[in-house]
Amino acid sequence: MNKFDLDNRVSVVTGGAQGFGFAITERFIQSGAKVIIWDIDKEAAEIALKKINSKKCFYQIVDVKNFEEIIKNLNDIENKHGKIDIFINNAGIAGMNTTVVEYPLEEWNKVIDLNLNAVFYCCKAVVPFMLKNNYGRIVNIASIAGKEGNPNASAYSTSKAGVIGLTKSLGKELALKNIAVNCVTPAAAKTRIFDQMTKKHIDYMLSKIPRNRFAKVEELASLVAWLVSEENSFSTGAVFDLSGGRATY
């Protein structure tokens, strides 16, 4: 493993108790950072903490769809750890696999609220903390679906396309600051999000990947570790593909 230097960095990973988020948390700890896991699932957060078994790992139960709750927990982190250097917007859901015509309005709003609105809330809330310290790294976990649009996954594809647009806008707004804002667009990986998808949809996603396998969570964590390091001093507002060859632009 290449170790990127994250010593003395304070980081937050939303949805950090499982899947991509857990792999990112683990990699950050190995690289020297403090990590505060944000998750809605207390049991999963406690299990993650036991697995990582580090005095540098903590958790808060946070509903990232609630702006006031986000602000409160960020203030708590700053009071306890002195600063916030890194923020990873990872929490998300797949939503139903069905056509646009048949997509329930309530389900659409549920997906957009967590996958897009919550990312906006977290970015809006955390940037002032980073501006105070003249340092910050934000990475938003989007999806290749946000670039290409998967059939029967309109809410998910739309939410991830929105995350890409938000990343580009915020990256440009902060370009003259020592704050980098980037996003990653991975192909699917075998995480618990698959439990929300039909087998037909999972098979479709695999068929689109030239490497003929799903992404590994460790591969995403490796890329994110570089993106949040000081070595990434120039790229901002950028989209980094992790699609096994699927991406065409």
Residues acting as catalytic residues = 156
What's the rounded Cα separation, in Å, for the pair 211 and 238? 23
What's the rounded Cα separation, in Å, for the pair 38 and 12? 7
CA distances to 133, 145, 146, 227 from 234, in Å: 18, 26, 24, 10
Q: Cβ distance 237 to 142 under 8 Å?
A: no
What's the rounded Cα separation, in Å, for the pair 184 and 141? 5
* Torsion over CA: 35, 82, 9, 121 (sign): positive
